[in-house]
Amino acid sequence: MIGKKNIVFGFLYLVLTAALGPMMIIKYFDDVGATEAVKQLKVGALQQAAASGFEVDLEPMTADEIGAMNADAILALSARLNSEGPINAVKGGPHTHGNLEALLNIAAGFLICFLAVHRTLKQLISWSFLLGAVAHSGLLYLAIGLNVGWAQSLMGTAFAYLGPALILIGLLLAGVAAALGFRGTIETDF
């Protein structure tokens, strides 16, 4: 059963990618908490000033004081939003793509079991999905999630397109093979 390796890889890769995502973002939570506290303090002070008609001890605030308070609140809000950047990079990149590509491998593995096509085509489909997942989301995990230097340098090269290209080739081949030889029963490899 040629598709078996995709099914096994898919489940193991899903466990790995599902576990690595939270582990990679947990280190950023302290920064998010700290910037949230500062944001609450600065924006709260601005809200309180606005509610009191921009008066402090019954004295009106100057335009410079109001401007400085506004700037502090805006900068604190900006710092808070920026502190979520690394978390969003992991969630939207390697974590999501890794989970998707694991599930694609599982689905492709099951599909291959139901195809009555030549084993060479089945192997091409199988290896396209396996290598595509490793080259795409694997590279994303190394470059974005784990900050590995050589992986980051590959992100700007043609190699970064290899993984997605292999997955697209696998999808195309799987569609053609399904059109030619999909059966409702498990097929032997020939």
The first and second tokens of residue 177, run together, are 């093979």
- C-alpha 148/C-alpha 61 separation (Å) is 51
For residue 38, count CB atoms less than 10 angstroms from its CB and return exposed for 0-12, middle for 13-18, buried for 19 or more: middle
Residue 184 above 90 pLDDT? no
User: Are 117 and 54 found together in one domain?
Assistant: no
Confidence at residue 189, expressed as pLDDT on a 0 to 100 scale: 78
Ramachandran angles phi, psi of 105, nearest 5°:
-65, -40
User: Are 49 and 130 found together in one domain?
Assistant: no
Residue 190 above 80 pLDDT? no
User: Are 109 and 174 found together in one domain?
Assistant: yes
User: Are 112 and 166 found together in one domain?
Assistant: yes
Residue 1 above 90 pLDDT? no
User: Are 9 and 36 found together in one domain?
Assistant: no
The better pLDDT of the pair 92, 175 is held by 175
Asked whether residue 139 is domain-assigned, the answer is yes
- C-alpha 6/C-alpha 129 separation (Å) is 8
Categorize the per-residue pLDDT at 153 as very low, low, confident or very high, splitting at 50, 70 and 90: very high
- Asked whether the whole model's pTM tops 0.85, one would answer no
What is the average pLDDT across 106-130? 97
- C-alpha 117/C-alpha 123 separation (Å) is 10
- C-alpha 112/C-alpha 183 separation (Å) is 10
Structural domain boundaries enclosing 16: 4-25+85-181
User: Are 157 and 107 found together in one domain?
Assistant: yes
Asked whether residue 16 is domain-assigned, the answer is yes
Q: Coil, strand, or helix at residue 49?
A: helix
The first and second tokens of residue 87, run together, are 């978390």
Categorize the per-residue pLDDT at 156 as very low, low, confident or very high, splitting at 50, 70 and 90: confident
Confidence at residue 21, expressed as pLDDT on a 0 to 100 scale: 82
Model confidence pLDDT, tens digit, residues 40-76: 999 999 999 999 999 988 889 999 999 999 999 999 9
User: Are 59 and 123 found together in one domain?
Assistant: no
